[in-house]
Amino acid sequence: MSTDTEAGSEARTSRGATAPAAGLRDRLGTGTAILAVVSVQLVAFAAAVAVGYPGAYAGFAVLSAAALAVARDRGTFGVLAATLGTVLLVALGLPLLMMVARQNPATVAEMAADPGVQQALYLSVYAPLLAAIASVALGVPLALVLARGFPGQALVESLVDLPLVVPHSVAGLAILFGFGKGGAFGGVQFTIPVIDFTFKFTVLQTMLGMVLAMTFVSAPFAVNAAREAFESVPTRVEWAARTLGANRFETFRRVTAPLAWRGVLTGGVLAWARAVSEFGAVAIVAYSVDFFYLPEGETASAQHAPVFIYNTYLSSGLEQSGAVAVLLLALSAVIFLLVRTVAYDDGGWP
């Protein structure tokens, strides 16, 4: 924990101890202001869409951000920063708002009730979750080593970051070359006689292959976020624990991990999000897979949502594929908000 962080924590603790009611009022006031701004923006966007000029909302958003900066006396630099930052936010958010606004509620409801869509959405949460768990479980030890440094670290960091720049289709081919037929584990098979279970290492069109492909592209996010979190832990705190008799594992468990858990969680969430959005590698390695579908208690066959949306677009057009995309977007947003709420001491809001 940095000095600033410690000082901030002490300040927050002091304020909380001396004036908890004032802190609650501050939070309620800030939350009310944010809710008011968001409401005004949504109303402005709805009005622009209703009159047939949705592009006009972009100008409104930029001008309103500049006006808020002026009202809060942010100075010339603050106004410029708010204005330019809002341009980027508009570029990121306006397409998503337009996609949501142009959906037919009846079509969205119809697609939401489709069992095939439900299975695809379930798979698109379940498989990325397994990939995120694998990325964190294997990436945290590596991140800890990278945070402490060693000779040749630059080479390892380059290898970790390489999947970030590899094209998605190339990532899928790499998985097949590495772990497919004739790959590193292509012939591995074993049987457990007691329960009559046979495991065969196969990645093509299997759940294992899908998780491997997702882990390949998402692990760098988990490793880098965890490494930054570990680097932020003061070494003097760890050394203090060592001088008190704690071994390396106890120091990690009682000092390092508690101070870095939020960064590790952020890395896991980013890894999950990256896996949810993966298309190219999954389409090549595991276009359609069989998996245990918990809501029905039996095995089902489905496609990852990005692949399913692409196929729906080719077969049924923009309207139905857009409806599925909105469902995936809403599901991802809900999970993001839940994780963010849990990850922050003050509930994440406002």
pLDDT recorded at residue 11: 46
Structural Rg of the chain based on CA atoms: 24
pLDDT of residue 140: 93
What is the band of 341 on the pLDDT scale with cuts at 50, 70, 90?
A: confident
Beta bridge partners of residue 289, listed in sequence order: 302
Residues 113-141 have pLDDT tens digits of 999 999 999 999 999 999 999 999 999 99
For residue 350, cis peptide bond before it (omega within 30 degrees of 0): yes
**Buried b vs exposed e over 88-115: b needs ≥16 C-beta within 10 Å?**
eebeeebeebeeeeebeeeebeebeeee
327 pLDDT more than 90 = yes
Share of the chain above pLDDT 70, in %: 89
At 190, the pLDDT band (50, 70, 90 cuts) reads: confident
Q: Residue 21 — pLDDT band, cuts 50, 70, 90?
A: low
pLDDT one-digit tens code per residue, 34-87 = 788 888 888 999 998 888 888 889 999 999 989 988 988 888 898 999 999 999
pLDDT value at residue 193: 73
Say how far apart CA 91 and CA 99 lie, in whole Å.
13
pLDDT grade for 349, boundaries at 50, 70 and 90: very low
Q: Other C-beta atoms within 10 Å of 330: how many?
A: 14
DSSP code of residue 194: G
Looking at per-residue pLDDT, the higher value among 348 and 251 belongs to 251
Residue 183 region, left (φ>0) first, then alpha (ψ -120 to 50), else beta? beta
**In the structure, how many helices (H) and strands (E) does the chain have?**
15, 4
140-161 pLDDT per residue, tens: 999 999 998 888 889 999 999 9
Specify the pLDDT at position 35: 81
Secondary structure letter of residue 289 according to DSSP: E
* pLDDT mean across residues, the chain: 85
Q: Return the minimum-mean-pLDDT range out of 114-118, 181-185, 239-243, 313-317.
A: 181-185
Which residue is associated with the tokens 């298309």? 279
Two structure tokens written together for 171: 């990532």
pLDDT at residue 16 tops 60? no
- In single-letter form, the type of residue at position 206 comes to T
Is the pLDDT at 15 greater than 50? The verdict is no
Q: What is the pLDDT of residues 94-109, one digit of tens each?
A: 888 899 888 999 999 9
Nearest to 312 by CA among 300, 328, 298: 328
